[in-house]
Amino acid sequence: MEHPGLPSQLLPALQAIASAAGVSRLALVGGAVRDALLHDQHCDPWRDLPDLDLVLEGSASELAAALERHYGDQRVEDVRIHAAYGTAELSFDGVLLDLAGARQEHYPAPGENPVVESGSLERDLQRRDFTVNAMALELSLSGDGEPWLLDPHGGQDHLARRELAFLHGSSVADDPTRVVRACRYAARLAFVLAPEAQQQINQTLEAWPWAWTHGDPPAASPPALATRLRMELELLFEREPWPEALLALQSWGALMLLDPALQADSRLVRSLIQAQRLHLPLLLALVAGADDPLELAARLQLPQQQQRWLQQMQELSAWLEVNAFEDALAGWTAEEWCDALEQQAWGAEAVALLVSQNPPQRRPLLRWWGRWRHCPSPLTAKDLLAQGWQPGPDLGAELQRLRRQSLRAMR
């Protein structure tokens, strides 16, 4: 198997030291193996990986220390040991390596964090999310053999069909955030769901553990599940072609994991493209389209500042509905819009969030966000002081009057 992204001396160097460090088995796992096979089978371009994942039966910290002792700080740098987790990180010849002892796990309840303990390489592969990620290139530690591929779950077959299949029948029930991870891989790798994977998603949605109704406290959700779901969504927006990923989630019916309104929103991607143009955090903009944005924001544990913007967005939306019903907004000038929005102290982010939801008053709100709020007084406080004005409230009122004059000329 060809490895275009790996320095030629990397694997032999690891093989040479691992056995002396008490490691009984060592394997390259994860994206490096999957992408190398994609490159071989489908001629996919090699994707640069931020790091390489290696799993070993033995001590990750002892292997990291042995590599540092043997090769010195010219080749081994930035060693970090996490003994409590059985992991280590280092840079070897400029390549970032994540070393981890082989583990096995089980979930005490759906959506909870797993219980993890030491295990074999095969049991470690069994922890993975998809069959295409549950393959390993095991290195010969005797020094007299080539690495060989471990594929205990049929990952090569699914990879040949460009299908995503969950590793076992309870994968999604154990951790529903794997659905979001699936859409990330589907968008990035141009994969489709295997039929049995879609069936798992459907079964999980029918028995979804977040059976909330309006008024249920956020604490009613499994907290570990909420944290993992937010992290997966953040990765979706940061690393993936997110429009394709969200459309995949919708086509699978899986946005019900978040909110029924998001699942039904035919404008969802367009709304988020608008939000991106307005420099909004995309996860925040996604939550803004929910039936109850504040409830969803609390469940996902969004930052308090972002939750305040959502609260302001809802206040602004309610104010617009009342005034639109009374026909009070028809024909409003830039000056009047600035007075109304700025006196209420609604933040620019709150206005932008509402604009992304395409309200009837979208045009004046967008003009306020992009132009009107930036309109200054033609004279500064320094100019007025030079004309003889005294510091104080009257000077501030004059600056406001001059700004309003400028606003009257704007459309």
What is the secondary structure of 24-88 as a DSSP string? Answer: SEEEEETHHHHHHHHHHHH-PPPPP-S-EEEEEES-HHHHHHHHHHHHHHHHEEEEEEEGGGTEE
Paired tokens of 6: 């790996």
Instruction: Supply the pLDDT for residue 111.
Output: 62
Domains of the chain: which residue ranges?
10-156, 162-257, 265-322+346-371, 375-408
> Which range is least confidently modeled, 27-31, 220-224, 235-239, 375-379?
220-224
Residue 223, judged by CB atoms within 10 A of its CB (0-12, 13-18, 19+), counts as: middle
In this predicted structure, the answer to whether residue 214 has a pLDDT above a threshold of 50 is no
pLDDT tens-digit map of 136-186: 999 988 766 788 999 999 999 999 999 999 998 889 888 889 999 999 999
Instruction: Supply the pLDDT for residue 12.
Output: 83
In this predicted structure, the answer to whether residue 372 has a pLDDT above a threshold of 90 is yes
- Cα 33 to Cα 43: distance, rounded to the nearest angstrom: 14
Instruction: Supply the pLDDT for residue 1.
Output: 61
For 358-371, give one letter per residue: b (16+ CB within 10 A) or e.
eeebeebbbebbee
Q: In this structure, what is the dihedral angle of CA atoms 248, 258, 130, 14, given to the nearest 10 degrees?
A: 110
Q: Pick 162-257's CATH classification: 1.10.10.350, 1.20.120.1630, 1.10.1040.10, 1.10.110.30.
A: 1.10.110.30
Span 298-319, average pLDDT: 96
Question: Which segments of 169-310 are extended strands (E)?
Answer: 192-193
Higher pLDDT, 240 or 48: 240
Instruction: Supply the pLDDT for residue 210.
Output: 54
Instruction: Supply the pLDDT for residue 394.
Output: 86
Higher pLDDT, 381 or 98: 98
CATH 3.30.460.10 is the classification of domain 10-156: yes
In this predicted structure, the answer to whether residue 401 has a pLDDT above a threshold of 90 is no
Higher pLDDT, 353 or 2: 353
Percent of the chain exceeding pLDDT 90 equals 59
In this predicted structure, the answer to whether residue 217 has a pLDDT above a threshold of 70 is no
Q: Tell me the pLDDT of the chain averaged across its residues.
A: 89
Span 314-331, average pLDDT: 80
Instruction: Supply the pLDDT for residue 409.
Output: 81
Span 316-320, average pLDDT: 94
Hunting for tokens 């459907």 — which residue is that? 202
Query: Model-level pTM?
Result: 0.85
Grade residue 105 by pLDDT with cuts at 50, 70 and 90.
Answer: confident
Grade residue 332 by pLDDT with cuts at 50, 70 and 90.
Answer: confident
In this predicted structure, the answer to whether residue 16 has a pLDDT above a threshold of 70 is yes
Instruction: Supply the pLDDT for residue 213.
Output: 47
Higher pLDDT, 23 or 174: 23
Nearest to 356 by CA among 252, 411, 283, 294: 283
Span 388-404, average pLDDT: 85
In this predicted structure, the answer to whether residue 87 has a pLDDT above a threshold of 90 is yes
Nearest to 113 by CA among 258, 222, 217: 222
